[in-house]
């Protein structure tokens, strides 16, 4: 007690010092846990993103290679193939791709909940629904020339585009099988298989393109037919893997159950199709509107080149779109709402960083980016002028598709479809029209106005995602799986 004063000081301060000393390690520990969580989630994400980007780049490169071969034949051939691929093929590509995305919701959540049997049934239902849809869309290809003339395209471009569109019919039917197969395999994390088959199809496409265009000199018809060969190589590769032992848990053979519940499945597929096709068609409308401008051939060529470059880069956000949809669906299917939220944050952040990189890249190489497609000076000059809008579009696309992936993983397709209609077609297209024609800004005005629609849509999706109750979404996913699994229990 003789050192009472000092003792009191020591007794008062030692716990305080201990608390202060423990605060720093606690913060460091929390930061360490966060870094570890980000690292683990990034590994899960890139396990899907890497092969998804590669397979999408390979598939899209087939279209780009076809367009490049056409471009070196002449401006008319480039315009014809560009219109056929960017308007006719892409029109139903967007719808069928979107309809197949219903499998990302259903198969992703089923895989997370370990309901493996139903995944094979969902795949077969998707084949049936998409094949019927392909038959219904046949007039789009059969009457491509009159449709394009009605949309204001030049007579010679519309006629040659119509010929190319007929040659794309096998590609059209390949979508009904390839898109569901890809999403079926993707949902169970078999992305490496998709990447390998896509690479094989790309190699075949390059060889066949060289043979048809340069060796056999088949012109536009030969250029278009190359896609039919390579896309069916892709379909057959994925089909053989799935049907012959590659998916023992999720594929147990063809089932009559695939024909039950088709109406409910069709409604979900339709809402998915509307959501994604409205996005996919949006910038295709830009090409159609540009075809009505003066000197349309040069304007269409330049814009098609920009759209091809944008589409090429878009395969990266589309890879994140696929990965985010799978990760969110898996976590919600497993009942982990917080895990779905964290996967969304990591995916969006990573994609934005990559988007900024490509934004800078376009700004730096704006003079050279069109040389792969054309050596025409008027076309190169027009692409150079459009490069700033291309850079802005790429930056926006680093966010918007990922948020759409969240919507697919969560099953919000119908909700987002209304947002797309409002932002794209009630805001973006009218603004683009007024800036292009009323204010005489041409293709730059049309594109700038439509970028405004994309920006508004992105802001709305950000708002919805930030305010999302993830635990409630996990409960909805459980109820959804219970509903879709009822028929299986009855059997």
The helix or strand, by DSSP H or E, that contains position 127, with its residue range, turns out to be helix 116-136
Is 431 part of a structural domain of the chain? yes
- Is 275 within 8 Å of 417 (Cβ atoms)? yes
What is the pLDDT tens value at each position of the chain, 491 positions in all?
445 544 444 444 445 445 544 554 555 566 667 888 889 888 888 888 888 888 888 887 888 788 778 776 777 777 788 888 878 887 788 788 878 877 877 888 888 788 888 889 999 999 999 999 999 999 999 999 998 888 777 888 888 888 888 989 999 999 999 999 998 998 888 888 999 999 999 999 999 988 888 788 777 788 888 888 999 999 999 999 999 988 898 998 888 888 887 887 888 778 777 777 777 677 667 777 776 666 666 777 788 788 878 877 888 888 888 888 888 888 888 888 888 889 899 999 999 999 999 999 888 888 777 887 777 888 888 888 888 999 999 998 888 888 887 877 777 777 777 888 888 888 988 998 888 888 888 888 888 888 998 899 889 988 988 888 888 888 877 776 666 555 444 34
Between 442-466 and 413-420, two packed helices, what is the crossing angle to 10 degrees? 150
**Is the residue at 399 inside a domain?**
yes
* Residue 32 covered by a domain: no
441-452 pLDDT, tens digit each: 888 888 888 899
Mean pLDDT across the chain: 82
pTM given for the model: 0.74
Cα distance between residue 405 and residue 416, in whole Å? 11
Q: Is residue 29 part of a domain?
A: no
**What is the sign, positive or negative, of the torsion defined by CA atoms of 325, 327, 329, 332?**
negative
Span 444-479, pLDDT tens digits = 888 888 899 889 988 998 898 888 888 888 887 777
CA angle 281, 287, 290 (to 5 degrees): 140
When divided into structural domains, the chain yields a total of: 1
Contact status, residue 49 vs residue 324, Cβ threshold 8 Å: no
SS3 160: helix
Domain that holds residue 177: 48-490
| Residue 25: predicted pLDDT | 56
In-domain check, residue 271:
yes
The reply to whether 111 falls in a domain is yes
Residue 40 in any domain: the answer is: no
| Angstrom distances, CA of residue 62 to CA of 201, 206, 243, 302, 308 | 9, 8, 26, 19, 11
Among the listed residues 101, 109, 99, the one whose alpha carbon sits nearest the alpha carbon of residue 481:
109
Q: Per the domain annotation, does 8 fall within a domain?
A: no
């Amino acid at each position: 007690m003789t050192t009472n004063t000092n003792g009191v000081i020591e007794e008062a301060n030692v716990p305080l010092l201990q608390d202060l000393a423990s605060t720093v390690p606690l913060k460091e520990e929390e930061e360490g846990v966060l870094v570890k969580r980000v690292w683990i989630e990034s590994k899960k994400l890139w396990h899907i993103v890497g092969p998804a980007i590669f397979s999408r780049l390979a598939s899209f490169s087939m279209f780009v290679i076809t367009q490049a071969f056409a471009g070196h034949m002449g401006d008319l051939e480039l315009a014809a193939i560009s219109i056929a691929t960017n308007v006719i093929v892409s029109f139903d590509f967007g719808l069928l791709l979107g309809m197949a995305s219903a499998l990302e919701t259903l198969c992703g959540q089923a895989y997370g909940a370990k309901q493996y049997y139903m995944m094979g049934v969902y795949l077969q239902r998707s084949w049936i629904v998409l094949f019927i849809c392909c038959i219904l869309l046949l007039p789009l290809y059969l009457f491509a020339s009159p449709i394009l003339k009605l949309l204001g395209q030049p007579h010679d471009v519309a006629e040659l585009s119509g010929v190319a569109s007929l040659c794309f019919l096998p590609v059209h039917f390949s979508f009904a099988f390839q898109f569901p197969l890809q999403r079926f395999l993707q949902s169970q994390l078999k992305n490496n298989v998709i990447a390998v088959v896509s690479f094989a199809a790309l190699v075949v496409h390059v060889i066949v393109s060289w043979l048809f265009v340069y060796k056999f000199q088949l012109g536009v018809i030969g250029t278009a037919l190359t896609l039919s060969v390579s896309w069916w190589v892709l379909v057959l590769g994925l089909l053989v893997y799935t049907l012959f032992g590659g998916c023992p848990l999720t594929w147990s053979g063809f089932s009559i159950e695939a024909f039950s519940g088709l109406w409910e499945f069709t409604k979900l597929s339709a809402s998915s199709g509307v959501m994604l096709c409205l996005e996919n068609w949006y910038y295709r409308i830009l090409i159609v509107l540009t075809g009505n401008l003066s000197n349309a051939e040069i304007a269409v060529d330049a814009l098609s080149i920009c759209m091809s470059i944008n589409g090429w880069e878009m395969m990266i956000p589309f890879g994140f779109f696929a990965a985010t949809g799978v990760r969110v669906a898996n976590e919600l299917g497993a009942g982990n709402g917080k895990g779905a939220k964290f996967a969304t944050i990591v995916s969006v952040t990573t994609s934005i960083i990559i988007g900024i990189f490509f934004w800078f890249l376009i700004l730096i190489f704006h003079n050279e980016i069109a040389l792969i497609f054309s050596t025409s000076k008027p076309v190169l000059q027009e692409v150079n002028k459009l490069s700033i809008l291309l850079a802005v579009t790429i930056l926006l696309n680093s966010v918007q598709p990922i948020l759409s992936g969240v919507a697919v993983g969560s099953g919000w397709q119908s909700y987002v479809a209304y947002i797309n209609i409002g932002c794209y077609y009630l805001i973006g297209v009218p603004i683009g029209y007024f800036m292009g024609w009323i204010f005489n800004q041409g293709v730059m005005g049309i594109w700038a106005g439509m970028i405004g629609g994309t920006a508004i849509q992105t802001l709305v999706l950000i708002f919805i995602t930030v305010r999302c109750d993830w635990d409630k979404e996990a409960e909805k996913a459980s109820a959804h799986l219970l509903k879709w699994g009822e028929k299986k229990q009855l059997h």
